[in-house]
Chain A
């Protein structure tokens, strides 16, 4: 999860240049606003990474590629630490209670210096052609135009004329759900994933691997279908089967299997002998050793099973934990003290202990241990032992008897 150019101050956008971008259009991106759905843990799904970049960031990219330079983002959740990159957007956070009022204020600020404002609520990942939407809105002269999917479902993507303040106020106060506000329809034929539940995040990931949407993994394609981000470390005994994605600074330890469209987002860690099968591991998540993560979404000390449609909160670091991007001071001190306690032993071993391979006896001596029990000739030979086991198998044929 990363947000560019975050600004904790919410409020006016009078500092933005008038009529910036093409055709005097600005964009307002709302993240959340529906506390009961579209979440994993306490985070909106739009803030979670999908193959290296969050739905929010990908949406901002799409808006910028449509020639809209000035963007305001309003979220109802304080996001995880942002990636420090410059972006021409203002980011603000509002509590769920005053989210829609804040959205209205932002809309009014944006509409001061533009002809129209695009209002996009995430929500859904909708590949609406924003240029076509703006052009059609301009041609139609309607106050509000709403994008609809190919199947006729209304999407939370609106083009609103700056002069239509009252209609915009009614729309935003009604949380974009008020059917009484009349909107013109713009038909979109792009990919749509509504991201209502965590399971939809898995579907979006799989669709991205299959090339059914515009989302592409952020990383180098080392082998066909296997993408790895910068700084990721994969043990040579780990198996990564296509299609899979290993994000930036991930650690994949020995004997781990990552397969069937799984994705490990940045700074996640998978411990030894764990299988990640058709699952998504969220950023900064540590998955313990010897686990079987199948058809699940793991992160924020939670596991959501897509098959069982159940979410479990796990506070046991042996199973699911969290990682950090930066070492804290106590961790540094602990690591340094451990190193200094370890060094004398290593030096002593190197300097004083004799080197060389241990000498083994011949195979029969090694394989047949000379214990008193086995050394006793009165014991049954190997063949009769086999017979005894055969009888035992016969006995066990009837299970509980």
Chain B
């Protein structure tokens, strides 16, 4: 189930990407956060209890929307625009 609901601007070109190894698609102009959360419910697991997190501030401050790209770098999903063919994976988080 999706977390976010699209209300406007839906007539945009689709962009294919890979989410946790599965094919997925978003729209041109989506952030990674939007592309992921319009088709699923979380972005990462928390660092001490592996609880699901889906970002919070959407303005690059809370650092709770990090996802990993194909080249290994971690980026804030709220402030990174989706690109065609991107490989996105979600860290499961860690438990104590």
Query: Do the two chains belong together in a single complex?
Result: no
Residues of A bordering B, CB below 8 Å: none
Report which B residues bind A (CB closer than 8 A). none
